[in-house]
Amino acid sequence: MPVLPEPFGTVVEGVLLAPLFLVAASLGAWVLYRGTWEGRDWMEAVRDQHRPWMWLERWIRFRWIHPDCQYWVLPVRLDRGPIEVEGRAPEGLWWCLTWYAHTEVNASLASHEVELDGAGGYRIRIAAEGDGPLWIPTRPGVKHAVLSLRIYEPAHPHPIWLPRVTQGGRVLSHGGAR
């Protein structure tokens, strides 16, 4: 077998190893993304765009972000029971609470569908089974999802009052002003 000149051999080795490094880096990013799925609070797609987790989230789900909207996201596990979302209606033209598995829109409730209590609050249940006007159904077999609170033309961009999210008595997000 002929011996390649030193610079050419190094280039060939680099070309052969580049896909391996690319696969390893992609796998590492995916493990980091999935491994830290819970334990995060609401993140805003524009304000938190420089966090590594949001880079992936924006690449997967939020490639387009309308400049007069706020997209708040919270990763959740749907396989651990019903999720309760309670808060006050955001002041804005329109808002919507949606859950996403991968890039597909699944089910949501929009501001005109939500019945508010006397104080302007709501309590929405996200579960496989349920009924009533404030229930968002989930699909069987979906484990990981992202809750998205979209607020179109918010009256006051900052601070915004985010909902409290619980699951089986465990607080996933305390909500509050951001």
Is the pLDDT at 55 greater than 70? The verdict is: no
Q: What average pLDDT does this structure show over 81-109?
A: 85
**Peptide bond connecting 159 to the previous residue in cis, omega within 30 degrees of 0:** yes
Least confident of 38-52, 84-98, 141-155: 38-52
- Give the pLDDT confidence of 13-27 residue by residue, as tens digits: 767 777 887 887 777
Is the pLDDT at 84 greater than 90? The verdict is: yes
What are the domain boundaries of the chain? Answer: 1-35, 41-177
Name the residue with higher pLDDT: 156 or 148.
148
Is the pLDDT at 63 greater than 70? The verdict is: no
CATH code for residues 41-177: 2.60.120.600
Q: What is the pTM (predicted TM-score) of this model? A: 0.68
Give the residues across from 125 on adjacent strands: 84, 135
